[in-house]
Structure 1
């Protein structure tokens, strides 16, 4: 068995034990496939990790940048305290409408606020504090999102940023790869940022070779 097949098999094994999806999440993925949404959402195991991290810090207010169909938002929203709120930003109004249905079907519709349009414009209108910020949108703007996360997170709040390894492309980004260049710049700025303590976890498996950045706001 090739290495990538082993990694995928282990991911499926872990997801079966710890990241099992309920009917709402299964239905969400089915709807997304039928609607032709890009298959770029987090895996079930990654969703469970987001959920646990949010639970560990007792999150009452979560900001997500990049809603897509709402899959990661469901995991995050279900981790909220009873009086909590998920604010999620989505550029595409069709995806935002799709996610609204996803949140309602998952039972967290009353706790979610979806803001359609360019993320940086929406971010400028927000005030903190947030307990957790999750970045999973266009990587070329990750450095700008980092500045907003530093403004909006409470001390001790958690910043998570997905897709920051990009199959190793961050080591030497090509001139015509703005996503890898953005991720590399984000990691460089995060590592030197005086308001964050951070690390990056490499990931392999169902989502290929990528990584998740984790940072605590000082």
Structure 2
């Protein structure tokens, strides 16, 4: 299983206990994800989730776009940061994990803000209209470059694009596999994209925040 944090478990736990605690529903979602999915490590953790929620709040986002729903943890976290009339569109094509996500969206008071678009994200993105205030990319890594190209035009000037797993457990520094090389190439693509101002953070498995000029 891919290591999803570059800090020690003790430091990760310390950060968790010194961050705002998520609602009890998120702990249940974590347990269901662990019990019913083959790759529970794909779920964002409580610290990263709280960070995403804060980014939505700080940017005063009204519309959010997410590529990669998984079981819905990050979507629900970001939805909590949206205003009452906010909208979050999330894209996924896994029927089992999408079923879990929909069930938890229905149980949250913020779930009504979320619209899950089922199907290949690149096809869904062709049907969407911007502008979005914030976009979060956390799906299949080989397609990150294609997602970037499709998402950036949908984000408003001054908006934020957030990308997960950009350090890829450190393997982007010495890529060996196809996915390693894809992630390293993606990071170079972002670095050279003059349309945005990127900052790469060492949160969990690495996150890039890129402000659109």
TM-score, normalised to structure 1, is 0.90
Are 1:163 and 2:165 matched, yes or no?
A: yes
Contact 2:22 2:50 in 1 (8 A): no
* Aligned counterpart in structure 2 of residue 128 of structure 1, from 113, 127, 130: 130
What secondary structure does 2:206 align onto? strand
What secondary structure does 1:82 align onto? coil
Q: CA deviation at 1:216?
A: 0.3
Instruction: Note the residue ranges of structure 2 that are not aligned, 5 or more in a row.
Output: none
Q: CA deviation at 1:37?
A: 4.7
Alpha-carbon distance between aligned partners in 2 of 1:144 and 1:97, rounded to the nearest angstrom: 26
Instruction: Note the residue ranges of structure 1 that are not aligned, 5 or more in a row.
Output: 205-209
Name the counterpart of 2:16.
Answer: 15
Name the counterpart of 2:62.
Answer: 60
Are 1:48 and 2:50 matched, yes or no?
A: yes
What secondary structure does 1:203 align onto? coil
Name the counterpart of 1:143.
Answer: 145
What secondary structure does 2:125 align onto? helix
Q: CA deviation at 1:6?
A: 7.3
Q: Which aligned pairs between 1:1-218 and structure 2 lie closer than 5 A? A: 7-39=8-40, 40-174=42-176, 177-203=177-203, 210-218=205-213
CA RMSD of aligned residues (A): 1.7
Q: CA deviation at 1:149?
A: 1.9
- Closer, same or farther in 2 for the Cα pair 1:152/1:16, shift >3 Å? same
Q: CA deviation at 1:45?
A: 0.5
